[in-house]
């Protein structure tokens, strides 16, 4: 398991040392105290501060990247909407069946029981 010092952790996620230190002191980031410094687990560090990609493809501009991400998000949202619509249709059919069972289970009154 990879461990980082405070300085190494700050470089890995492109944050300042005081930012990482404050996160440790507030409990947002867990770390082990070792001597005068800290030992920070890589998984814990990247949980709190996702790893920053050092460079973007030269052929893609930031706006093209943003468009691609938005298209991907739209596609994922459409898929989620389809799943939700299927769930609603299934629940609606179950409700109709339950309603029919309840209607059939009501006691019938005969003409002399008025």
- CA 57, 63, 65 angle in degrees (round to 5)? 45
pLDDT tens for residues 47-62?
Answer: 998 876 665 555 556 7
User: Which is higher by pLDDT, 112 or 54?
Assistant: 112
Q: Which of 7-11, 43-47, 61-65, 69-73 has the lowest mean pLDDT?
A: 61-65
Residues 46 and 8: their CA atoms lie apart, in Å, by 13
Residues 70 and 59: their CA atoms lie apart, in Å, by 18
Smallest CA-to-CA distance from 53 within 9, 5, 3, 13 is with 13
pLDDT at 16 > cutoff 60: yes
Confidence of residue 1 (pLDDT cuts 50, 70, 90): low
Residues 101 and 23: their CA atoms lie apart, in Å, by 58
pLDDT at 114 > cutoff 70: no
Order across the sheet with 3-4: list the strands. Answer: 3-4, 37-41, 32-34
Consecutive H or E run containing 4: strand 3-4
């Amino acid at each position: 398991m990879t461990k980082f010092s405070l300085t190494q952790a700050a470089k890995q996620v492109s944050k300042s040392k005081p930012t990482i230190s404050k996160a440790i002191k507030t409990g947002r980031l867990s770390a082990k105290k070792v001597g005068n410094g800290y030992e920070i687990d890589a998984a814990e560090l990247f949980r709190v501060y996702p790893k920053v990609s050092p460079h973007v493809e030269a052929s893609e501009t930031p706006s093209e990247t943003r468009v691609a991400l938005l298209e991907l998000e739209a596609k994922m949202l459409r898929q989620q909407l389809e799943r939700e619509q299927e769930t609603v249709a299934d629940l609606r059919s179950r409700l109709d069946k339950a309603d029919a069972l309840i209607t059939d289970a009501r006691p019938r009154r005969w003409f002399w029981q008025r």
